Structure 1
Amino acid sequence: MKSIRLICAFGALALGTASAAAHPHVFAEARLDVMLAPDGRSVQSLRHLWRFDDVFSSTVLVEFDKNGDNKLDDTELAAVRDTVYKSLGDYNYFQLVTANGKDVAMQKPDEFAAIFDNNQLIIMFETKPKDPLKLSGTIDFGVYDSTFYTAIDFTEDDQMAVAALPADCTRKVVRPDPDQIIAQNQKTLTDAFMSDPAGTDMSKIFATRLELTCPAQG
């Protein structure tokens, strides 16, 4: 049970108290690749890669290394993978996807990988929109934890990428200023947190996001 709680922590399932959710305890550096369909006018999939911090990675190693050889074999990594996959399912795998301000539903990933590289846990998965997602208007992509327990960060703008973006589209990485966001939304954030201290979708307004803007399609 202890190992389940530890790996679920970054899925915001284990610690639901206000004090635990108030600031990040787990950190990861991320990469997001937006894959376009062959025609270049719609989104085919999102490819995610999260590299977790040394402390959390070490904790996972200790908890899942059942044979005590100080490494994770294929069976132990499969246990990590399965636990994370199940834990994050209720949180849409921390994905933020909107089209012209409306949430876009995403399918569960068909494949979900967990590996250890240089003593760091890496999670990789790919998701697809449930319905066709055209490059029309403004589309935003990001990653966020609604409980603030996990900080998944894109340290460089090029870690949010889209290959072969049509020439009539533009891309930019938006990094909201937390102090400004809090000042502008203090009452709303307070009300949302008090109604559900375990997590609220209001936290998505803090998320770094890749914003694509394209001409409207019919």
Structure 2
Amino acid sequence: MTIRRLALAACLLVGFVAPAAAHPHVWVTARSELVYGADGRLSAVRHAWTFDDMFSSYATQGLDVNGDGKFTREELAPLAETNVTSLKEFKFFTFGKYRDKRVVFSEPTDYWLEQVDGLLILHFTLPVKDGAPDKGEAFKVEVYDPTYFVEFQFAKDESAAKLVSAPPGCAVELDRPKAPDATQSKKLSESFFSGLSPGSNFGAQFSNTLFVACK
């Protein structure tokens, strides 16, 4: 089951029929690493996304094969593959840009799920396929759902966004989105989103943006 189907099923299961009519449906606490290669250029983005408790609880129903009350990577592997595959349509909620160009990512590698304190954490790596910024060039990586079905918030500690093996003098700054105001929140119904054009990028206004610059 994809993230969207799981989320909607969970909302209906616990009786949140009316509240579930508003976006978002899934909440994610994110951590991201921007990984550099030996040539000093961005080579991959490595994510760790922690899902909210309702989604985590519903998504893991029936997956405890050995009945020990815990979930191994093997037991969670089918769910990890299904959800990573479903993210392809949305470019894995990860958008790299520099100047007026886009960074193109390959499909995820090293993806797996774990459960910590009852919450699911999805780990995966997006290798850069094309368009890596030149060494020392400023760029940004945005994390958001264009449809705002999923809301991303980066963890509050300083290690939520970091560089790995970056050239000396490079640093990353995280720009967090503003929460919707009361007026916006009232408009975020299913009918509002169903009326948007197919190419709408509504969720961009709630983007978490990682800005990288080198001295």
Tell me, yes or no, whether TM beats 0.5.
Answer: yes
What corresponds to 2:114 in structure 1?
115
1:137 Cα offset (Å): 3.7
CA distance in 2, matches of 1:121, 1:137: 35
- Which is richer in strand? 2
Count how many residue pairs are aligned between Structure 1 and Structure 2: 198
| Structure 1 residues 10 and 46: alpha-carbon distance in aligned structure 2, compared to 1, 3 A threshold | farther
AA aligned opposite 1:23 = H
Which segments of 5 or more consecutive residues in structure 2 lack a partner in the other structure? 9-18, 185-191
Which stretch has the larger CA shift, 169-178 or 65-74? 65-74
What TM-score does the superposition give when structure 1 sets the normalisation length?
Answer: 0.73
Residues 170 and 10 of structure 1: is their aligned pair in 2 closer, same or farther, counting only changes over 3 Å? farther
Alpha-carbon displacement from aligned partner over 1:150-198 (angstroms, at most 9, x marks no partner)? 1121133430101354344443212243569x99xxxxxxx9974427x
For normalisation by structure 2, the TM-score amounts to 0.74
Contact 1:30 1:49 in 2 (8 A): yes
% identity of equivalent residues: 28
More helix by proportion, 1 or 2? 1
Instruction: Output one character per residue of 1:117-136: Cα deviation in whole Å (capped at 9) or x when no partner.
Output: 22211110111111251345
Alignment of 1:24-43 (within 5 A): 24-40=24-40, 42-43=41-42
Indicate the residue corresponding to 1:92 in structure 2.
Answer: 91
Shift of the alpha carbon at 1:84? 0.6
Write the mapping of 1:200-215 to structure 2, written as runs, cut at 5 A.
200-214=200-214
CA distance 1:78–1:166, shift in 2 (3 Å): closer
> Quick one: structure 1 residues 153 and 179, their matched pair in 2 at CA, closer, same or farther if it must change by over 3 Å?
closer
Q: Distance in 2 between matches of 1:142 and 1:105?
A: 13
Structure 1 gaps of 5+ residues are 13-18, 184-190
**3-state DSSP of counterpart to 2:173:** strand
162 and 64 in structure 1: CA distance in 2 versus 1, 3 angstrom threshold: same
Distance 1:175 1:103 in 2: 21
Equivalence for 1:173: 174
